[in-house]
């Protein structure tokens, strides 16, 4: 870790303690960072690209009745995500007024960002952070995006404070999960 990041975490920690007394326990914050979840097929370029987040459409389609605070933080493929962008995700999540936070993230480096968030939290943090994503974009047939988001919505309400990843109907503790690229699944370490 570099000095600037450590300073930011200390600064955020101080601000976090001030905010934590007023934590919103009813609203779910969803932070979008990009990844396959939000990609669309561009027929002209013949590739998957980012346009606008699919989350408002998915939430409406799923008839979600919980109060949602949607934060479109980034739209980047996690394979090209910089360490500065990763630290920005962690800082943003830690400053959430909402107790329940879902982070939509690319699956290739989701574990790395979840581990960084877990390492950066103060011991008395009361947030429930749940990372999720998709192996197939929402915009394409047979996508797992809606299912994974549904699992994350349930998990964030039921779990105790901590950092988790939910993919493929399973919930994992951050720090004890990996992506198996050969099988295209997440699994316990």
Domain ranges of the chain: 3-188
> What pLDDT shows up at residue 9?
55
Determine the distance from the C-alpha atom of residue 67 to the mean position of all C-alpha atoms in its chain, rounded to a whole number. 17
Per DSSP, what are the bridge partners of residue 48?
41
pLDDT of residue 17: 47
DSSP sequence for 58-95: HHHHTT--S-EEEEEEEEE-GGG--HHHHHHHHHHHHT
The larger pLDDT score, comparing residue 189 to residue 35, is at: 189
Q: Which pLDDT tens digit goes with each residue over 97-155?
A: 999 999 999 998 999 999 999 999 999 999 999 999 988 877 777 888 899 999 999 99
Q: How far apart are CA 104 and CA 31, in angstroms?
A: 6
Q: Look up tokens 């929402």; give the residue.
A: 138
Give the pLDDT confidence score for residue 3 in this predicted structure.
54
pLDDT-derived band at 13, boundaries 50, 70, 90: low
Q: Can you give the pLDDT at residue 18?
A: 47
CA triple 181-143-169, angle to 5 deg: 65
3-188 domain in CATH 3.40.50.1170? yes
50-77 exposure pattern, b = at least 16 Cβ within 10 A, e = fewer: eeebbbeebbeeeeeeeebeebbbbbbb
CA distance 182 to 12: 38
The predicted structure's pLDDT at residue 180: 94
More confident residue, 17 or 74: 74
Contact status, residue 9 vs residue 115, Cβ threshold 8 Å: no
* DSSP one-letter code for 38: G
Instruction: Name the residue with higher pLDDT: 27 or 61.
Output: 27
pLDDT in tens, 28-80: 999 999 877 766 665 666 666 567 777 888 899 889 999 999 998 887 888 88
């Amino acid at each position: 870790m570099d000095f600037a990041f450590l300073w930011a975490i200390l600064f955020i920690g101080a601000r976090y303690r001030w905010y934590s007394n007023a934590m919103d326990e009813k609203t779910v914050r969803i932070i979008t960072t990009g990844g396959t979840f939000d990609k669309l097929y561009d027929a002209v370029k013949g590739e998957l690209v980012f346009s606008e987040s699919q989350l408002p459409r998915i939430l409406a389609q799923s008839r979600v009745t919980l109060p949602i605070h949607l934060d479109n933080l980034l739209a980047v493929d996690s394979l090209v995500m910089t360490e500065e962008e990763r630290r920005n995700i962690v800082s943003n999540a830690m400053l959430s007024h909402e107790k329940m936070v879902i982070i939509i993230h690319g699956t290739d480096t989701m574990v790395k960002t979840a581990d960084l968030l877990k390492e950066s939290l103060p011991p008395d943090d009361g947030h429930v952070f749940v990372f999720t994503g998709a192996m197939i974009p929402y915009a394409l047939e047979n996508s797992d995006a809606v299912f994974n988001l549904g699992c994350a919505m349930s998990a964030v309400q039921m779990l105790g404070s901590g950092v988790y990843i939910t993919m493929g109907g399973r919930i994992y503790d951050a720090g004890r999960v990996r992506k198996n690229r050969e099988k295209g699944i997440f699994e316990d370490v």
